[in-house]
Chain A
Amino acid sequence: MNIFSKYYTSLLAILTLFALYACNDVEPVPGGKLRIEFDNVVGEKNLVLNSVTYQNAANEDFTVTKLDYFISNIKLKKANGSVYTVPQDSSYFLIKESVKASQFVTLNNVPEGDYKEIEFMVGVDSLRNTADISKRKGVLDPGGSMAEDGMYWQWNSGYIFVKLEGVSSVATSINRKFYYHIGLFGGYNERTVNNTRIVTIPFGALTAPVSETGKTPEVHLVVDLLKLFNGPGTNLSIAENVMVMGSQQEKSQQIANNYSGMFTIDHIH
């Protein structure tokens, strides 16, 4: 009796271990889709590239010519506290203001249930930032063009997490443009600042019900650029900072402390 149960326990333990480690992909359970919309705005106004003039908290006028950012490592939390982590390889999204479709992130095979919270990273985690080239597909392909939509520093091996460019009358550059390319994942062999940010957004009274057959819930997030300029990190002045990139670690960190707060939930439909 005793021997039998001992035997059973160890067999179970071995099998469980095997199930956990030997193969890390699990047979999919019934699931549905969940969509997240990243709706970029500037305060009360919708973001329109190259046309509308906005004003930041430092009372500086600006238009936006480009806004691109990485969202990754998405997790969804149910009312009962259980968490669904989107499979790593399917969890990198590049949101571009210039490409409407990119602002809608569809998650497939999400286990059925009522979701009450979303968590994601702004940026690309250090693991993927230092990964083998075979792990850098799709939006993570380092082969893009910096002049166009490149989100990778080829000379300094690292992804740009948030790229904001625009024009302002107070910019000191000859073309009146300002350039904010915020990246830095913590450094490969020498420590740098880490500008990835984890954002957690509870849905409050709202719920995102995922089911295999029902309507796909769409979580509508509002992304307010004014908060990138003004937040807990800094009150960013375009006149004082016409360009912030990899070599201004402290300033880029302040901006990262701002952009972690620019996401809020608006509604779910």
Chain B
Amino acid sequence: MKWQKYAACILPVCIVSVWLACSPKTAEEEVTPDKEGTTPIEWKKPAHFPDPVYDISKNPLTEEGVELGRFLFYDGILSRTNQIGCGTCHQQQAAFTHHGHELSHGVDDLLGIRNSPAVQNVAWQTSFFWDGGVHDLDLLPFNPIQNPVEMDTNVPDIIAKLKNTPDPKSKIPVNYPKMFKEAFGTDEINSERIMKALSQFMMTMVSASSKYDFYKLGDANALNAQEKEGMLLFQKNCSTCHQGELFTDQSMRNNGLMPMPGDDKGRFDITGAEQDMYKFKVPSLRNVGYTAPYMHDGRYHTLNEVLDHYTDSVQKLGTLDPLLIRADGRTGLSLTSSEKQSIIAFLRTLSDEQFISNPKLADPGIGNAL
């Protein structure tokens, strides 16, 4: 009886407090950018691809956001010297790598330590850079922006410059405050919006229209006999690491490269763990026909050299991947030269012409390809 009196009092209090607590909830909602007036883009994964890793619900694609991202990607305004854009070292015709450059040069022609990786199929990537040091696409651009040999600046300085557009001295006088307003509802420019616009554009960089993809999706004639033979050899010898439709298992491995004088320790510099010494991220092989030179330091200029490495030059360092050690203790893969040629023929079927010529991914005329 006593208990019921107590409960009878509590109930109205509960109702009132629930009502009070829930009704004036505006602070959080105001933070969310107003996306009214934007044109949504439906992002679709290719049928034969796995589910994406990137959570697109946190950053839904819009025409305006992608277009802003495209301008930001190519505009040198993201660098200290206003010369180096993302697109400087990630050029479309080379599947967004720095064609012909073993290592890339950033501001003032300063040379980096690694080969510029392809920007493609980022929606499925669980980590970024050769050492996997960044795990979120939205946090990726901070790295090249602040790197002293890449763009050598910082986001507050970039924001200040973007706010000052249109700049009559620029190649195209882009009005960034207007573009941010169109993409995010207001002309506020902040780190989050810059990164999300760049992510939106990079999310559209999907490569899934190679000859291999046509074969995979049912066109048995898309590959010729040599390419099919190469595919079988590839599956047997290479696909443990370069696995699945992304052609990488995204792991960190030591593939037996002799350390260079610069002694790049790869993943070790991220984790500090001895077992990560000289390990680098297994790259996707999509568009590998376009992305020469190869390896984290661009030491191999042709696919022939790459295949020769795996048969002849695998160094037995302490952290060498066990998959590259044969039963008899020797290192590397066992392939004849004609088998290697078949594998290379297959690798070239991963070249996606639509991807490298898609005008929606192209420089809108603001970039510098140095």
> Which A residues have a C-beta under 8 Å from some C-beta of B?
4-5, 8-9, 11-12, 15-16, 18-19, 22-23, 25-27, 130, 132-134, 136-137, 141-148, 150, 152-157, 187-190, 192, 246-249
Knowing A133-B191, A142-B142, A143-B156 are in contact, say whether A16-B135 is a contact too (CB < 8 A).
no
**Nearest B residue to A24 by beta-carbon distance?**
B21
Are A130 and B133 touching (Cβ within 8 A)? no
Q: Are B154 and A144 in contact (CB under 8 A)?
A: yes
A249 — which chain B residues lie within 8 A by C-beta?
271-273
Task: Give me 17 A-to-B residue pairs in the complex whose CB atoms sit less than 8 angstroms apart, sorted by A's number.
Answer: A5-B4, A12-B11, A23-B18, A23-B22, A23-B25, A133-B192, A136-B192, A143-B156, A144-B154, A145-B146, A148-B154, A154-B134, A156-B133, A192-B271, A192-B272, A247-B269, A247-B271
Contacts known (A145-B146, A155-B147); A15 close to B4, Cβ less than 8 A: no
Nearest chain A CB to B13's CB is how many angstroms away? Answer: 10
* Interface SS of B by simple majority: helix
Whether the Cβ atoms of B143 and A155 lie closer than 8 Å is: yes
Chain B interface: which size bin?
35 or more
Any chain A CB within 8 A of the CB of B139?
yes
Interface residues of B in 124-153 (CB under 8 A from A): 126-127, 129, 131, 133-136, 138-139, 142-143, 145-148, 153
Kindly list chain A residues whose C-beta atoms are within 8 Å of the C-beta of B8. 8
Whether the Cβ atoms of B271 and A8 lie closer than 8 Å is: no
Beyond A133-B138, A155-B147, whether A23 also contacts B21 by CB under 8 A is yes
Q: In the complex the two chains form, is B272's CB within 8 Å of A248's CB?
A: yes
| A19 near B191: Cβ-Cβ < 8 Å | no
Determine whether B47 belongs to the interface, using a CB cutoff of 8 Å to chain A: no
Name the residue of chain A whose CB is nearest to the CB of B126: A189
Determine if B17 and A145 form an interchain contact, defined as CB atoms under 8 angstroms apart: no
Partner of A22, one of B18, B135, B148, B158: B18
Shortest 5 CB-CB contacts between residues of A and residues of B: A143-B155, A145-B154, A247-B272, A143-B191, A154-B142
Interchain CA distance A155-B136 in the complex, whole Å: 11
B21 engages A134 (CB within 8 Å): no
Given contacts A189-B126, A190-B271, 14 further A-B pairs with CB under 8 A are A5-B4, A22-B22, A130-B136, A132-B138, A133-B139, A133-B195, A143-B158, A145-B156, A154-B139, A154-B142, A154-B145, A155-B133, A157-B136, A247-B271
B16 CB → nearest A CB, Å: 10
**A115 CA to B100 CA, complexed, in Å:** 65
Q: Is the interface of A mostly helix, strand, loop or mixed?
A: loop
Q: Known contacts A143-B142, A247-B268: does B192 contact A134 (CB below 8 Å)?
A: yes
Instruction: State the CA gap A246–B269 with chains docked (Å).
Output: 8
From B4, B154, B196, give the contact of A143 (CB < 8 A). B154
Q: Which residues of B contact A134 (CB under 8 A)?
A: 31, 58, 192
- A4 nearest CB neighbor, chain B only: B4
CB-nearest residue of chain A to B191 = A143
Residues of chain B touching chain A, judged by Cβ–Cβ distance below 8 Å, are 3-4, 7-8, 10-11, 14-15, 17-18, 20-22, 24-25, 27, 31, 55, 58, 126-127, 129, 131, 133-136, 138-139, 142-143, 145-148, 153-159, 190-192, 195-196, 268-273
Chain A residues with CB below 8 A from B143, complex form: 154-155
Closest to A148 in B: B154
Give Cα A198 to B219, complex, Å. 60
Residues of chain A contacted by B15 (CB below 8 angstroms) = 15
Q: For residue A190, which residue of chain B has the nearest CB?
A: B271
Tell me, in angstroms, the Cα distance from A12 to B24 when the chains sit together.
23
Q: Tell whether, in the assembled complex, residue A15 and residue B14 are in contact, meaning their CB atoms are under 8 Å apart.
A: yes
Given contacts A5-B4, A189-B127, A249-B272, contact A136 B191 (CB under 8 A): yes
Q: How far is the CA of A155 from the CA of B132 in the complex (A)?
A: 9
> Is there an interface contact between A16 and B14, defined as CB atoms closer than 8 Å?
yes
Given contacts A145-B146, A145-B156, A11 and B11 within 8 Å (CB-CB): yes
Contact of A189 among B129, B135, B159, B273 (CB under 8 A): B135
Q: Looking at the complex, which one of A8, A25, A147, A246 makes contact with B272 (CB distance below 8 Å)?
A: A246
Contact among A8, A23, A141, A247 with B191 in the assembled complex (CB-CB below 8 Å): A141
Among A26, A133, A150, A155, residue most surrounded by chain B Cβ atoms (within 10 Å): A133
CB-CB nearest in chain A for B157:
A145
> Could you say which residues of chain B place their CB within 8 Å of the CB of A130?
135-136
- Shortest CB-to-CB span from B272 to chain A, Å, is 4
User: For residue A14, which residue of chain B has the nearest CB?
Assistant: B14
Instruction: Collect the chain B residues with CB atoms within 8 Å of residue A12's CB.
Output: 7, 10-11, 14
- Nearest CB of chain B from residue A149's CB, rounded to whole Å: 10
Write the chain B residue with the least CB distance to A157. B134
Please, how many angstroms separate the alpha-carbon atoms of A85 and B154 in the complex?
A: 34
User: CB-CB < 8 A to A19: which residues of B?
Assistant: 14, 17-18, 21
Q: In whole angstroms, what is the CA distance A27 to B221 when docked?
A: 67
Given the complex, which residues of B lie within 8 Å of A248, measured CB to CB?
Answer: 272
Query: Closest Cβ of chain B: how far from A111's Cβ, in Å?
Result: 16
Give the docked Cα–Cα distance between A136 and B193 (Å).
12
A247 to B159, CA, bound (A): 31
